[in-house]
Structure 1
Amino acid sequence: MHLPRPSRFHLAAFSGVVLLVALALYYGLDGVTQAFAEVGWGIALVVIVRFGQVAFSGVAWQAVLLAPTAWWVCPLLRWVREAINVLLPVAQVGGDIVGARLLARQGVKGPVAAASVLADLLVQVSTQLVFSLLGLGLFLVSTGDGETALWLGASLLLFAFGVIGFFVLQRWGGIGWVERRIVAAATKNGWSVPGGIVGLADSLAATHRAPGRLAVAAAIHMGIWIFGALEVWIVLAFLGHPIGFAEALVIESLSHAARGALFIVPGGVGVQEAAIVAIAAAYGLPPQLALAVGLVKRVPDLVLGIPGLAIWQALEFGRLRPVPVHQGPER
């Protein structure tokens, strides 16, 4: 029997799981699980914080969408996007591709839907870069740990190159070049052209000509990143090791930077936890507690992710019906 060859995403996912298990075993599985259990009902608060982040991420997506939709569509589809990105063995953009397709099925033109996802992603990663730079600055001021800062800075530099490349791709004709090549290849080989391709570059250019919308989305995303630091703050408060919100922001921002730099690892499994352990050590936090923080932050991935996947399947099979929208001129 011929078995399918594992993809690079499956291999990255496996490597991340191995890293996470190795961390737990190295620092003592009993201590980590005991710390995890001590968080208690604080885990519910972390889930609530994450739900707020996802919901407002949908609002930010709605801000850059140049088409009318029901108020709940983008928050619901953002939920699906996040669920796929954190739970399935795909790079952390697989859910965004699905989100664009599902948005098109809700009555939005394919190129407009795809352009909104690309613009939303650009705003998201750009504000994440600013958030991470803020965290790195606070880390240097509060700890003076140059060795750890160098490691964190290297991850941040890698992430920054990715953000800059994504920006150049969107603003200087890269999307148009890709669109033309896909259309030419499809025409030459008699393939059907994906619905969101033809007109994508024009739709994306129209989105970038609405700086007010992009600014609103950026403000929302920046608020979401800062709000997310409550997850770390809550967990450590329940563990009896309270830290200031600035320190929680440092741990949150720089662990996300490491995760973003190694985006090929699905859900950043292992990467996020290793970063939290390294950063928290600079603040004198025991590695067992730091690893417990990382594991508690995985709980919302499951609690919100599993229903998100169920919603995805309901949408795919038509159990959640599209809401017809009036397709007037793009705003």
Structure 2
Amino acid sequence: MYCRIKNILMSFKFFKFFFFLLIGLFLLKWVYDFFGSPDSIKLINENKSNLYLIIFAHIPTLYFDAIAWQVFIKKERLSVLWTFLITWISQASGKFFPTGTISGEFIRVYLGVKRGLTIYESSSTVFADLIIATFSLFLISIFSLLVVTFDSISLFNNQKSFYLYVSLFLMFLGCIFFYFFIKLRLIKFLLKKENIFGFRLNKKNLRILFKIDFSLFLLSRNRLNLLKALLSRLLGWIAGAFEIYVFLFIIGVDASLLDVILIEAFTGIVRAVAFFIPAGLGVQELAFVLIGNYVGLGDTVAFSIAIGRRIREIIVGIPAVLIWIFVFYNKKGKRA
């Protein structure tokens, strides 16, 4: 009976994955048909000799994201170098492969354990970092929205931007939920309610979940570390915007730092809300085009940025996968 239920759940999981993958592919085709053009690809081909610069431009983003996680980890347990490598691999798994951001976070937990962290320490620090990342994205998006609003009220009159308000609202609700989830120790509360899930966990799993809950609670009480992590994540988002600036420089397009921050912020928040679409296919491209058009870049340049981001994900993701294979595992499949 158990095996049958497990097989049904696995089948449903694969069906759900391919269903949302098809939605993403159809959306990607629609974006290309309506906004893309051969000129976008031509623009990249004409400047392909300088595309290597986007690799170096991505290093600060990875560094600040890794430091934000490192803040919550004891230095003797995991060095900055290993934090950087694990962050690199986890982000590649969520972007290079069509597995989604959530899968990338599970991989980060897994690799943290492989490098010596306890399961509850790795889980709680990754979860805390994920909350900080969500809140920092919300803050930088609100800042960008306010700046644009003061510059031009047309954003509120643009019907196409309705989804931005919905995304911001959902992100705000997520931040509120995470706050009370940790503050009220809801994991502990739910675990004490017997049979609430219709099944019982064994003592080992219960012990791990209680430790994760307590570890999250302790992390939330260290305000200095929370501030450091938030600052690092904000710098990471700005570094991500700088990547767009570098790409525009490569293809010979001028843009202000504020423009690229706006593009990065709203693209990030739309993709975060649409996390169920594998690799953000179509969603990411649509966000780039809509926001790119709003700041005056036009369809051709905006879609070129979307293509450039996919190129960066591939050329940065492949080395990350190779590091996962050759650094974390030896030939026998054991930890290096």
Query: Do they fold alike, i.e. is TM over 0.5?
Result: yes
Whether 1:22 aligns to 2:30 is: yes
Deviates more, 1:227-236 or 1:40-49: 40-49
Using the size of structure 1 for normalisation, the TM-score is: 0.86
Q: Which amino acid aligns with 1:61?
A: W
In the alignment, which of 106, 110, 115 is matched to residue 106 of structure 1? 115
Q: Which amino acid aligns with 1:129?
A: F
Match for residue 271 of structure 1? 283
Task: State whether residues 67 and 112 of structure 1, in contact with CA within 8 Å, keep that contact through their aligned partners in structure 2.
Answer: no
In the TM superposition, what whole-angstrom CA distance separates every residue of 1:119-163 from its partner, at most 9, and x where no partner exists? 111111111110111111122233432233544222211222223
Q: CA deviation at 1:183?
A: 11
SS of match in other structure, 2:80 = coil
Q: 1:221-232 counterparts in 2 under 5 A?
A: 221-232=233-244
In the alignment, which of 40, 43, 49 is matched to residue 51 of structure 2? 43
Q: In structure 2, how many angstroms separate the alpha carbons of the residues matched to 1:118 and 1:173?
A: 14
Q: Number of matched residues?
A: 322
Structure 1 unaligned regions, length at least 5: 324-331
Q: Which amino acid aligns with 1:116?
A: T
Match for residue 144 of structure 1? 153
SS of match in other structure, 1:46 = helix
Whether 1:161 aligns to 2:173 is: yes
In the TM superposition, what whole-angstrom CA distance separates every residue of 1:64-84 from its partner, at most 9, and x where no partner exists? 114622332211111111011
Q: In structure 1, how many angstroms separate the alpha carbons of the residues matched to 2:195 and 2:273?
A: 31
Match for residue 97 of structure 2? 88
Task: State whether residues 35 and 292 of structure 1, in contact with CA within 8 Å, keep that contact through their aligned partners in structure 2.
Answer: yes
Match for residue 300 of structure 2? 288
Q: In structure 2, how many angstroms separate the alpha carbons of the residues matched to 1:182 and 1:299?
A: 49
Whether 1:63 aligns to 2:71 is: yes
Q: In structure 1, how many angstroms separate the alpha carbons of the residues matched to 2:329 and 2:26?
A: 35
Task: State whether residues 277 and 291 of structure 1, in contact with CA within 8 Å, keep that contact through their aligned partners in structure 2.
Answer: yes
Q: 1:1-331 counterparts in 2 under 5 A?
A: 4-5=11-12, 6-66=14-74, 68=76, 69-145=78-154, 146-148=156-158, 149-177=161-189, 188=200, 193=205, 196-314=208-326, 317-318=329-330
Task: State whether residues 107 and 322 of structure 1, in contact with CA within 8 Å, keep that contact through their aligned partners in structure 2.
Answer: no
Q: CA deviation at 1:231?
A: 2.1
Percent sequence identity over aligned pairs: 20
Q: In structure 2, how many angstroms separate the alpha carbons of the residues matched to 1:315 and 1:64?
A: 24
Task: State whether residues 38 and 238 of structure 1, in contact with CA within 8 Å, keep that contact through their aligned partners in structure 2.
Answer: no
In the TM superposition, what whole-angstrom CA distance separates every residue of 1:32-70 from its partner, at most 9, and x where no partner exists? 211222343443222222222112211211111146223
Task: State whether residues 132 and 229 of structure 2, in contact with CA within 8 Å, keep that contact through their aligned partners in structure 1.
Answer: yes
Q: In structure 2, how many angstroms separate the alpha carbons of the residues matched to 1:318 and 1:168?
A: 42
In the TM superposition, what whole-angstrom CA distance separates every residue of 1:68-109 from its partner, at most 9, and x where no partner exists? 223322111111110111133333111111211221222222
* RMSD value, Cα: 3.0
Q: CA deviation at 1:296?
A: 0.2
Q: In structure 1, how many angstroms separate the alpha carbons of the residues matched to 2:59 and 2:137?
A: 18
Q: In structure 2, how many angstroms separate the alpha carbons of the residues matched to 1:304 and 1:25?
A: 27
In the TM superposition, what whole-angstrom CA distance separates every residue of 1:233-285 from its partner, at most 9, and x where no partner exists? 22233333311111111111111111112121222221121111111222332
Q: In structure 1, how many angstroms separate the alpha carbons of the residues matched to 2:223 and 2:89?
A: 27
Q: In structure 2, how many angstroms separate the alpha carbons of the residues matched to 1:182 and 1:97?
A: 27
Structure 2 unaligned regions, length at least 5: 1-7
Task: State whether residues 53 and 228 of structure 1, in contact with CA within 8 Å, keep that contact through their aligned partners in structure 2.
Answer: yes
Match for residue 4 of structure 2? none
Q: Against the structure 1 CA distance between its residues 151 and 114, is the aligned structure 2 distance closer, same or farther, given a 3 Å change threshold? A: closer
Task: State whether residues 236 and 243 of structure 1, in contact with CA within 8 Å, keep that contact through their aligned partners in structure 2.
Answer: yes
